[in-house]
Amino acid sequence: MMADVWTSTNIAKVTSENLLTSMLSKFSTCLRAGASVGIDLIFAPGDIALRKRAERFEKINAVADIKGDYPLDFISVWKTKTEFDWARQRNSIGQKGITVQVMNDDDDDVAFLEIPKAIPVKYEYEISYFTVDGGKLDLFDYDFMFWIQSTPKVTVNFVKEDGADLQYPLDFQVLFSPDMQQNSTVSDQYDEGKYWRKTYTIEVEAWLIENTEELHYAKTINLNIYDMDEEDIEYYTNVITEP
């Protein structure tokens, strides 16, 4: 996965990029062998995805000085909405931030707590599958249903802006809408050409990270409990507690 800094702008960008990367292995049955992000899985609005993909092929072929066609089978992903999540704002993470434990390399007995302020946000994405083979729509449904069953998450790794050796993976929950749209042009094939398109909607529950506060705390506590009834002070119980 990719790593980035504690900024809201980068989190939004990396969330979308990692969503495409995580989807690539989930939809292998309805895409060509050797499918890749940018060709078979693109970030573009569904209504202009065919045009955007064709423009990309023109650039690829021009650079490589070749002429060739790519299968129409591909998936477009586009972020359609960004909104504040009031429900998650009321939980402990929304109120206090996310706590990250980091060990100090110079002293194994001391750890640090990184507490970034976490702002809950929901990203809505439109996912469209395009194909000239109507039978492959069933394969897309098959892959999509198994994707839902796997309880998917989008993982985003963070590093601090000051370049410190801190990487923390955070999993963003993916939610699915029951709505599905059949956008195929079969009835208009003589005017627009014939292709099949099916569209689903998903939501990603993300956290925007604004700032961090570094705290120190004791990793281990040694507690000696003495028996006051004993004359010899050496009679005691040594208790070691760790978080």
What does the pLDDT read at residue 157? 74
**pLDDT on residue 203:** 95
Task: Please give the pLDDT value at position 160.
Answer: 58
114 in Cβ contact with 212 (< 8 Å): yes
DSSP track, 62-122: HHHT------S-EEEEEEEEEEE-HHHHTSHHHHH---EEEE-TT-TTEEEEE---EEEEE
pLDDT in the model for residue 1: 36
Q: What is the pLDDT of residue 196?
A: 86
pLDDT at 5: 46
- The structural domain count of the chain equals 1
Q: pLDDT tens digits for 50-104? A: 888 888 877 766 555 555 566 788 999 999 999 999 888 887 776 776 666 555 5
Domain with 146 in it: what CATH number?
A: 3.30.2000
Please state, as a whole number, how many other Cβ atoms lie within 10 Å of the Cβ of residue 63: 8
Does pTM surpass 0.75? no
Contact 156, 4 (CB under 8 A): yes
Residue ranges, the chain, pLDDT below 50: 1-6, 109-110, 215
Check residue 174 and give its pLDDT: 94
Element counts in the chain: helices (H) and strands (E) = 6, 12
pLDDT of residue 126: 95
Instruction: Note the pLDDT of residue 44.
Output: 93
Determine the structural domain holding residue 225 and report its residue range.
3-241
